[in-house]
Amino acid sequence: MRLKFSRFLVAFLLIGSLMLAGCNAQEVGNNSSPTSTTAVETTTTASTEATSVSQTTSESNPGMTNSLPRLEGKATVVITVKGSPITVEVDGTNAPITAGNFVDLVQKGVYDGTVFHRVVREPQPFVVQGGDPQSKDPKSDRNLWGTGGYVDPKTNNERRIPLEIKPKGEKEPIYGKTLESARITKPPELQHKQGAVAMARSQQPDSASSQFYFALADLGFLDGNYAVFGYVTQGFDVVNQIQQGDRIDSAEVTQGAENLKTGQS
């Protein structure tokens, strides 16, 4: 019993740190402690499950998703840290909005010079997180690193993307809900395996912007709660060497740029 409680407590604390790191400045003071990730009840039938997927997809905000970049297919992004490359295969087939947002921000140079503000390896390997544009300025308040996102210069508003998770075997992702809240018992197509790349967010499902993280180990307790959009295919040893405060030298789309489709607005 003590071992089970210990594992639960570790998962609870790790999920909490990930959620809070994805907040924007206005949300930091308002967020309560996150609840732990628990298994969805297994009594859901296959027919109910299929209905839930359909309803959740149709209830998503089409105006929001239509205005965002999409990646129709796959792309390769090379992130260079301290002179060493990390190759990421970005999967727009299973996460078109999340992958499109990331590739678009790479092309805009948003990640160049940003800091990995959170590195969690204890009590067990967890994540390396970065992507806050505020961290580009070494004179900025370091206490705010990890609270910001990409601000569109055309609107002066922070771009937010919906939580996007595609259940295994389904044609379309669901938006704006975790798999648990959508009562989906199927696992996601893109899972938190070691080397997964996913979006950080606050407790609000549709709050992801530019911050992302690398999974340092298999993190199955995050599956269905955070949007994975790709995997490290080369350079995971570089990821393992990243320390808090290290900067991204550059991020570049090396293949698949033609698969990026810009939003309608």
Residues in CB range of 9: below 8 A, 6 or more apart: none
User: What's the confidence (pLDDT) of residue 264?
Assistant: 55
Q: Are 158 and 34 in contact (CB under 8 A)?
A: no
User: What does the pLDDT look like over 200-256, one tens digit per residue?
Assistant: 999 999 999 999 999 999 999 999 999 999 999 999 999 999 999 999 999 999 999
The pTM for the full model equals: 0.81
Does residue 2 carry a pLDDT above 60? Answer: no
User: What does the pLDDT look like over 123-143, one tens digit per residue?
Assistant: 999 999 999 999 999 999 999
Q: If you write DSSP's letter for every residue of the chain in order, what string do you get?
A: -HHHHHHHHHHHHHHHHHHHHT--HHHHTTPPPPPPP-PPPTT--HHHHHHHHHHHHHTS-HHHHHTS-EE-SEEEEEEEETTEEEEEEEETTT-HHHHHHHHHHHHTTTTTT-B--EEE-SSS--EEEE--GGGGSTTS-GGGTTS--PEETTTTEE--B--EE-BTT-SS-EESS-TTTTT--SPBSS---TTEEEE---SSTT-B-S-EEEESS--GGGTTTS-EEEEEEE-HHHHHH--TT-BEEEEEEEE-GGGEE----
- Averaged over 16-27, what is the pLDDT? 45
- Averaged over 5-13, what is the pLDDT? 48
Percent of the chain with pLDDT over 70: 75
Sketch out the chain's domains with CATH numbers.
2-261 (2.40.100.10)
User: What's the confidence (pLDDT) of residue 19?
Assistant: 55
Low-confidence winner among 49-63, 88-102, 177-191 (lowest mean pLDDT): 49-63
